[in-house]
Amino acid sequence: MCRWMAYSGNAVPLETLLFQARNNLIDQSMSSRSAETPTNGDGFGVGWYGKREQPGLFRSIRPAWNDFNLRDLAAQIDSRLFLAHVRATSLATVQETNCHPFRHGKWLFVHNGELFGIEKMRRDLLLAIDAPLLEEILGTTDSELMFHLALTFGLESDPLGALARMAGFVERTGRDHGVEESLWMTVGVSDGESTWAVRYASDGQAPTLYHSRDMADLAQLNPDLPDLLGDHARAIVSEPIGKFAQMWSEVPQATALHVNGARLELLPFVPES
Amino acid sequence: MCRWMAYSGNAVPLETLLFQARNNLIDQSMSSRSAETPTNGDGFGVGWYGKREQPGLFRSIRPAWNDFNLRDLAAQIDSRLFLAHVRATSLATVQETNCHPFRHGKWLFVHNGELFGIEKMRRDLLLAIDAPLLEEILGTTDSELMFHLALTFGLESDPLGALARMAGFVERTGRDHGVEESLWMTVGVSDGESTWAVRYASDGQAPTLYHSRDMADLAQLNPDLPDLLGDHARAIVSEPIGKFAQMWSEVPQATALHVNGARLELLPFVPES
Amino acid sequence: MCRWMAYSGNAVPLETLLFQARNNLIDQSMSSRSAETPTNGDGFGVGWYGKREQPGLFRSIRPAWNDFNLRDLAAQIDSRLFLAHVRATSLATVQETNCHPFRHGKWLFVHNGELFGIEKMRRDLLLAIDAPLLEEILGTTDSELMFHLALTFGLESDPLGALARMAGFVERTGRDHGVEESLWMTVGVSDGESTWAVRYASDGQAPTLYHSRDMADLAQLNPDLPDLLGDHARAIVSEPIGKFAQMWSEVPQATALHVNGARLELLPFVPES
Amino acid sequence: MCRWMAYSGNAVPLETLLFQARNNLIDQSMSSRSAETPTNGDGFGVGWYGKREQPGLFRSIRPAWNDFNLRDLAAQIDSRLFLAHVRATSLATVQETNCHPFRHGKWLFVHNGELFGIEKMRRDLLLAIDAPLLEEILGTTDSELMFHLALTFGLESDPLGALARMAGFVERTGRDHGVEESLWMTVGVSDGESTWAVRYASDGQAPTLYHSRDMADLAQLNPDLPDLLGDHARAIVSEPIGKFAQMWSEVPQATALHVNGARLELLPFVPES
């Protein structure tokens, strides 16, 4: 079980939300409440949109809470849209290339959850990925495969459609190998303008996903961050933040989210079979 | 708050106690119960006595639970006496040279606790360390200073006496700078033959320290490790292990422990003023 | 261009050959002469056979010359057969799982060279690997693919036959994608009893490979290591060692080597088409 | 022997000079010509001035040429003044806190060279450092001591005077311990507005230091970087860059350099005894 967040709004130093906000993602990485594993200490990553079209990416296998460089960068770098992720894995491979976000051109991708039966499906999933995209795969996570499948299925022109085709393909492949309910996910995707997020699981029990209702929420959590984030700021988080859970809106099961500026849209998410 | 353990007995693969035993140190590093900070993910170290007089040392800033190399080494390396340590620090500097054990010649040293007011005392403590020993200091922990002070005060010929002189010196130095109760520690020391441990705090509230009563204890905890450890095996641990706390003997406050083969001796510990 | 060595003989501390011998592998990693890239600073690995059937494995992305833990382990660990490797890559992905040796059960594998056109062949190579073996692939090197292909083709029962089938398969796959001369390699393989090595390239220009002629060679290089290694000791190295090149026997192109105890056999190597 | 550079001029992505310029610092780190040790693979650091008063700092023990995060950050971060450093050490301790630049408030410091006899002087140097500054020392380099001595001696109000006092103090301390010629250095210091550099050695044989003559130099080296750097850009480098040595002005022995905007001033440097 991992944790992730996406922010869009006024350009702020990354540290504003990663370190300074109460119940921030870094603090959470040390002692989570809802997550199944108690500690998200198996790596960290942040992808941010700055002045270039391609987002920056900083990933490390150190626990986020003790990485000097992360603290420094978070203080120096301003961004109007970023995705951050802390990782906990029960599997052995902790390496930077398994840390989220994953990046392709201007696109970023984060995932929380699991592909059940990945050991039966990996070959078929690899096979379905476009050859040039296959060369970009550097790690061994199911998440990176999901991202590259979605890219193969048209993520760059139709994000939610491609995610639906990816989900459908994964579920079919699972069933072909006797895995009835293979997909368990929340994902976040951005091109630097919009952010899309999906909460979906084959068995209807996907991990949680929340979005901020409006800026009054974040302001209540952090009265010290008054007008900093701006009126159009939005945050999407994988888990309720501490005791303030009631201040976030839970995204229902099988639902997609589209955030663009102040606009936030909820849509049903149905894997394309 | 850190955690540590010392083992002596039959030569066993390190993994026997580090990974395979129930409630082992590595599992504990992810979710501790009694320790003040919830996660000991800020580095790990193990020092072991093998075929050379000088013990081996493996230290890493990765969390112990996700370090490949540690798992492999623990499976390959047999030792009849070793000290292991998992670190949690509220301070920023996570680097290998701040990981325990510290080593000097054939001596190993681990520490759990803190020197209160270290920022006022550091200069005086550094000054009291023999010049050649000063050159061996590679990190910035209070623990490494304590070890090198004890070495300066004769650890190699009189371990408990030197620890008492170190403790007395630290407390005096603290008081000179207005810190009435500066020392809070459990420490473990070995020369490859004996292991010494001390539980002591200036305010009488040192962190916990336990020793195994006899091998029946460890066998009960791990019926699958029957005669492996031998009749003379002894374990010293910084904290009660899970629900089996009643199977360990708590070392009283202000007490030193000396383990040599099957012999275990408890002695009062009084800083030498 | 990487560098590697294999040793078999009396059990000696790893440091004897890795650090103490003149012109040792670690020194070479800083300033190579024949290798195309000047520095092998992109990771290191050593696999050694000790008391367990499965060999130990220590891999690190730090340059071998500045890794504390490696020095310490090399001083503590004795082995009668080990493979070591220093890496230089022009490609970006420096991670532990891309460091050699690779391991499967009791088998170790090292590689120097390259698969030309890997970006065209990767999918077909992945497809040819047995599904359970596919799950063991953790990195992104061509070398790891070669090893798992050879395992698929029977390495464990017929090492040289499987390497020939692997080589033939790679060359056919290359030609299918318009790469006429795809294979360029020296490889080393061991099961803890025998060591096999192959020097082969599709264009007949494989990187160099040398074996020690007899122990007099090593003794001349290192008069200080007299009887330590034993009469049956053998070393295989990817490159001539410094000015002592004349003391090593060059393995001809398209040749396999089989070392078992004192026996050393040279065989023609022909990819199985 | 390390290498370093300082840049001031138009705000440019760090990668412009670190990766894209011909004979850039990163390429040099793999194969140096004039430096005594062939490879600067023992860590890297860059400190840059951006939007905050405090400069950012990114330091890593990975070789600069294979650090993903560095490449990414260098592409994203623009700076009008930065210092970069690649490290080669014959001593064992490779850790982030020993990587340059060192930072105090808005000040950055880099050093190439050595304090001869540091093992005799360390205690006296530590003693001379103001207590609050002593708490900021996180590593074990002579360089960090030099910086904190200079800070103690007034670097923030009188940079060149404080460096002269530091140099004089080091030389006196050396002589007190029988080291006649203890200091061998080039250093670079900045507060974000000005950059100061000094070339000095007790024996008159300090390592080299160069400054760009005017922008025509850099433009000749890199015709592809036309007006990017601006008319007032200045670079200071520890070593002549490849075959273009004649395009740089060598800073004479015992000389200080002050760069502020387009102004470049050369001054004699005399340790204050």
**How does pLDDT run across A141-200, given as a tens digit for each residue?**
899 999 999 999 999 999 999 999 999 999 999 999 999 999 999 999 999 999 999 999
Average pLDDT of every residue of chain D: 86
pLDDT of residue B33: 41
Q: How far apart are CA D39 and CA D62, in angstroms?
A: 13
Instruction: Identify the closest residue of chain A to B90 by CA–CA distance.
Output: A66
Neighbours of chain C (3+ CB pairs under 8 A): A, B, D
Q: What pLDDT was estimated at residue D206?
A: 95
Q: Between C48, C52, C72, which is nearest B75 by CB?
A: C52
pLDDT band at C109 (very low <50, low <70, confident <90, very high): very high
pLDDT digit string (tens) for D139-164?
Answer: 888 999 999 999 999 999 999 999 99
How much is the average pLDDT of A238-255? Answer: 78
Instruction: Write out chain D residues lying below 8 Å of B132, CB-based.
Output: 119
Instruction: Find the mean pLDDT for residues B60-64.
Output: 78
pLDDT digits (tens, 9 = 90+) for C113-132: 999 999 899 999 999 999 89
Q: In three state form, how does the secondary structure of chain A look?
A: CCEEEEEEEEEEEHHHHHHHCCCCHHHHHHCCCCCCCCCCCCCEEEEEECCCCCCEEEEECCCHHHCHHHHHHHHHCEEEEEEEEECCCCCCCCCHHHCCCEEECCEEEEEEEEECCHHHHHHHHHHHCCHHHHCCCCCCCHHHHHHHHHHHCCCCCCHHHHHHHHHHHHHHHHHHCCCCCCEEEEEEEECCCCEEEEEEECCCCCCCCEEECCHHHHHHHCCCCCCCCCCCCEEEECCCCHHHHHHEEECCCCEEEEEECCEEEEEECCCCC
What are the phi and psi torsion angles at B259 (to 5°)? -115, 125
**Cα C249 to the chain's mean position, in Å?**
17
Buried b (16+ CB within 10 A) or exposed e, D170-205: bbebbeeeebeebbbbbbbbbbbebbbbbbbbbeee
pLDDT in tens, B81-116: 999 998 776 554 778 888 899 999 999 999 999 999
What number is the average pLDDT over the span A109-138? 93
Q: Inspect the interface and report whether the beta carbons of D69 and A51 lie closer than 8 Å.
A: no
**What mean pLDDT do residues D234-249 have?**
74
ipTM: 0.85
- Percentage, residues of chain B above pLDDT 90: 59
Average pLDDT in the B55-67 region? 84
Q: What is the pLDDT of residue B68?
A: 83
Where residue C230 falls among pLDDT bands split at 50, 70, 90? confident
Q: Do B50 and C75 touch (CB under 8 A)?
A: no
DSSP lists the bridge partners of residue A48 as A56, A82
Average pLDDT over residues C174-187: 96
CA proximity to D192, closest of D5, D30, D6, D43: D6
Q: Is the pLDDT of residue C31 over 60?
A: no
- For residue range B222-269, list pLDDT tens digits in order: 666 656 777 788 889 887 655 566 678 899 999 999 999 989 999 999
> CA A260, CA A25: separation in Å to the nearest integer?
22
Query: Which of the two residues, C22 and B8, has the higher pLDDT score?
Result: B8
Question: What is the mean predicted confidence (pLDDT) over C89-111?
Answer: 85
Q: Do B38 and A39 touch (CB under 8 A)?
A: yes
Check pLDDT > 90 for residue B76: yes
Beta-carbon separation of D59 and A51 below 8 A = no
Average pLDDT over residues D172-191: 97
Is the pLDDT at C211 greater than 80? The verdict is yes
- pLDDT 10s digits, D15-54: 888 877 766 666 665 554 444 445 666 788 999 999 899 9
Kindly give, in sequence order, each residue whose CB lies less than 8 Å from that of residue B114, ignoring residues fewer than 6 positions away.
B142, B184, B185
pLDDT at C17 over 70: yes
Q: Which residue, among B113, B129, B112, has the nearest Cα to B121 in the 3D structure?
A: B129
Q: Is the pLDDT of residue B22 over 70?
A: no
Any idea which of B143-152, C34-43, C50-59, C140-149 has the lowest mean pLDDT? C34-43
pLDDT of C4 higher than 80: yes
pLDDT of residue B239: 78
Neighbouring residues of C155: CB distance < 8 A, sequence distance ≥ 6: C107, C147, C162, C163, C189
Q: What residues in C contact A139, CB-CB < 8 Å?
A: 140
Mean pLDDT of C211-231: 70
Q: Determine the pLDDT at residue B226.
A: 53
Condensed to tens digits (0 to 9), the pLDDT of residues B194-222 reads 999 999 999 999 999 999 876 666 666 66
Say if residues D150 and D185 touch (Cβ distance below 8 Å): no
Instruction: Report whether pLDDT(D90) > 60.
Output: no
- Which pLDDT score, from 0 to 100, does residue A95 have? 81
Mean pLDDT of chain B: 86
User: How many angstroms separate the first and last alpha carbons of chain C?
Assistant: 27
The more confident residue out of B189 and C219 is B189
For residue A101, cis peptide bond before it (omega within 30 degrees of 0): yes
* pLDDT over threshold 60, residue C56: yes
pLDDT for D245 equals: 62
Least confident of A4-8, A33-37, B69-73, D75-79: A33-37
Instruction: Return d(Cα A169, Cα D59) in angstroms, integer.
Output: 43
**Are C109 and C192 in contact, with CB atoms under 8 Å apart?**
no
Tell me if chain A has a CB within 8 Å of the CB of D50: yes
In the predicted model, is pLDDT for residue B38 greater than 60? no
Q: Which of D102, D126, D142, D176 to mutate to test the interface with B (most CBs of B within 10 A)?
A: D126
pLDDT at C23 (0 to 100):
63
Return the HEC string of B66-100: HCHHHHHHHHHCEEEEEEEEECCCCCCCCCHHHCC
Which band of pLDDT confidence, cut at 50, 70 and 90, is reported for residue C33? very low
Please name the residue of chain A whose CA is at the shortest distance from the CA of residue D50: A76
Judge if pTM exceeds 0.80: yes
Q: Report pLDDT for A240.
A: 66
Contact A75 D54 (CB under 8 A): yes
User: What is the structure's pLDDT at C46?
Assistant: 94
**pLDDT given at position A228:** 77
* Residue A34: pLDDT over 70: no
- How far is D235 from D228, CA to CA, in rounded Å? 14
Q: How far apart are the first and last CA of chain D?
A: 27
Nearest CB neighbour to C39, from listed D39, D62, D89? D39
B127 contacts in D (CB within 8 Å)?
123, 126-127
Confidence band for A107, pLDDT divided at 50, 70 and 90: very high
A75 CB within 8 Å of a chain B CB: no
Q: With pLDDT > 70 as the criterion, what percentage of chain C qualifies?
A: 82
What pLDDT sits at residue A66? 74
Nearest to A52 among D68, D75, D96 (CB): D75
- Residue keyed to tokens 């490779």: D94
